[in-house]
Amino acid sequence: MIHLDSPVIGPNIPFAFMKILLLLISLFFASCRSGSSAPVEIGTVKYRDSLKEALTESKTSGKPVFLLFQEVPG
């Protein structure tokens, strides 16, 4: 029978090591669950789906338009 206050659990594994290992595993899983699923956006870039709207906004603001052509496989 193994007691929680025994110095050794299992063959040659110190109890203090087991407590530290359990703590690290718990912290790992807690960090995986916390936080949102969406990545944090950096900056204030506003993406548009419509080229016509982007060109209109570009004319009024004086800022350039960046076009990104992305191929979706499938």
pLDDT per residue over 30-67, tens digit each? 776 655 666 666 777 777 788 899 999 999 999 899 88
- CA-to-CA distance for 25 and 3, rounded, in angstroms? 22
In this predicted structure, what is the pLDDT of residue 61?
Answer: 92
pTM for this predicted structure: 0.36
- The per-residue pLDDT for range 7-34, each reduced to its tens digit, is 555 566 677 888 888 888 888 877 766 5
In this predicted structure, what is the pLDDT of residue 26?
Answer: 85
For 57, residues 6+ apart whose C-beta sits below 8 A from its C-beta are 48, 63
**Among candidate residues 27, 4, 29, the one with its CA nearest the CA of residue 16:** 4
Is there a contact between 7 and 14 (Cβ–Cβ < 8 Å)?
yes
In this predicted structure, what is the pLDDT of residue 9?
Answer: 55
CA distances from 62 to 1, 53, 65, 70, 72 (A): 78, 14, 10, 25, 31
Is there a contact between 9 and 2 (Cβ–Cβ < 8 Å)?
yes
